Amino acid sequence: MKILLFYFSGTGNTWWLINEFVSRAREDHHTVDLYSIEKITNDQWSSINKFWDNADLVGFGYPIYGSTAPKIMKEFLTTVTTVHRKDSTIEKSAFVLTTMELFSGDGALALRSYLKKANLSLVYAYNFQMVSNLGIPIITYNPVSEARFAKRRARTLKKLDKVYRELLAGRKRLQNLYNPLGYFLGWIQRVGMAPVERQSWKYFGVDETRCTQCQQCVNQCPTQAIIFEDDQFTFDPSCTACFRCYNFCPAQAITIAGRSANPKRHRQHQTYIKGDYY
Ligand SMILES: Cc1cc2nc3c(=O)[nH]c(=O)nc-3n(C[C@H](O)[C@H](O)[C@H](O)COP(=O)(O)O)c2cc1C
């Protein structure tokens, strides 16, 4: 089988899951073309389009944000529809693998309408429970311990094995699609998410007393939303609310709603190595 796969991962969970999927597929001698959407350049589109025309499946991986997909993923699909594949009429089967922390009404299905516009018919969607990698000052919450995280990942891998087998065997699964409660709860979450999505950049800032101006935040931001000019950091509306800057700032200097993390209470997750997934 030929599988084309696009993913976005803010803090590493989705990157990990998608790579586990890809290693299973490659071990079974399927051909997989894998792209982190934040890194795709215009020059790559002619080869992506060639692969796409011949692909058996087109897949998408992303974290659930309030029962919807991150803005960067929705904008990516819109650009695919209106620019890169606007002349293509070839319809393909699509699948979506998402990661979440705890709950999402019908989040894995949130991209349905975007996929349809890109001539993609969704045949399989699955939402995997992972953990959050964030300890945020406005919510008293900490990342789980390494041991617990390892347990969760083992459980996720068991589910992934099943999902992989079903998907490659051509089975259809649209988790929660016909569940009115899931749809309703998802809708409520999306209503709550809408202002966060539009205004997330306004909530982020930099604590100058901690910042060492290493500019890792600037370099790691998937949407280049952090600008450093005249000794000042500003955030712009392209921010996709992934919290990567917050999670990986070596000085814990990124603030949310004006509040800095308390390093004792708001631990940073060390599970993923910076730079691996973008
Ligand atoms: C802005 C934002 C909104 C989120 N909303 C939800 C949610 O509605 N439900 C949930 O279970 N997890 C939610 N999460 C947690 C992430 O979906 C989860 O940690 C995911 O695995 C992160 O993936 P990543 O590491 O690939 O970025 C949210 C995280 C962020 C940053």
Q: Is residue 132 part of a domain?
A: yes
Tell me how far the alpha carbon of residue 271 lies from the centroid of ligand 1, in angstroms: 16
In a domain, residue 199? The reply is no
- 260 found inside a domain: no
DSSP conformation letters of 17-76: HHHHHHHHHHHTT-EEEEEEGGG--GGGHHHHHHHHHH-SEEEEEEE-BTTB--HHHHHH
The pairing of strands 254-256 and 204-206 is: antiparallel
Q: Is 200 in the pocket of ligand 1 (CB under 6 A)?
A: no
Which among 126, 129, 174, 127 has a CA at the least distance from the CA of 154?
A: 129
Number of Cβ within 10 Å of residue 199's Cβ equals: 12
Give the CATH number of the domain where residue 81 resides: 3.40.50.360
Confidence of residue 42 (pLDDT cuts 50, 70, 90): very high
Q: What tokens does 86 get?
A: 């606007």
Residue 255 lies in a domain: no
- Whether 106 maps to a domain, the answer reads yes
The dihedral through the CA atoms of 174, 179, 182, 185 has a sign that is positive
247 Cβ closer than 6 Å to some ligand 1 atom: no
What span, in angstroms and rounded, lies between the C-alpha atoms of 150 and 196?
A: 30
Q: How confident is the model at residue 5, as a pLDDT?
A: 98
- Protein residue closest via CA to atom 30 of ligand 1: 65
Within a domain: 259: no
Pairing state of beta strands 226-229 and 232-235?
antiparallel
Q: What percent of the chain has pLDDT over 70?
A: 94
Residue 148's pLDDT is: 84
Would you say residue 211 lies in a domain?
no
Q: Is there an atom of ligand 1 within 6 Å of 98 CB?
A: no
User: For residue 76, with 0-12 CB atoms within 10 Å meaning exposed, 13-18 middle and 19 or more buried, which class applies?
Assistant: buried
Asked if residue 101 belongs to a domain, the reply is yes
Q: Which atom of ligand 1 is nearest to the CA of 103?
A: 11
65-84 per-position pLDDT tens digit: 999 999 999 999 999 999 99
Ligand 1: atom nearest CA of 67 is 8
Query: Does the C-beta of 156 come closer than 6 Å to ligand 1?
Result: no
Please work out whether the CB of residue 55 comes within 6 Å of at least one atom of ligand 1.
Answer: no
| Mutation probe of ligand 1 site: the residue of 11, 38, 65 with most atoms within 8 A of C-beta | 65
Choosing from 64, 68, 220, 254 the residue with most ligand 1 atoms within 8 A of its CB, the one to mutate for a pocket test is 64
Cα 169 versus chain centre, distance: 25
Does pLDDT of 265 surpass 90? no
**pLDDT higher than threshold 70 for residue 273:** no
The string of pLDDT tens digits covering residues 142-180 is: 667 778 888 999 999 999 999 999 999 999 988 666 688
Q: Is the CB of 13 under 6 A from ligand 1?
A: yes
Q: How many domains does one find in the chain?
A: 1
Structural domain including 50 reads 2-185
Count how many residues are written for the chain.
278
Q: Please tell me which residue, 225 or 272, carries the higher pLDDT value.
A: 225
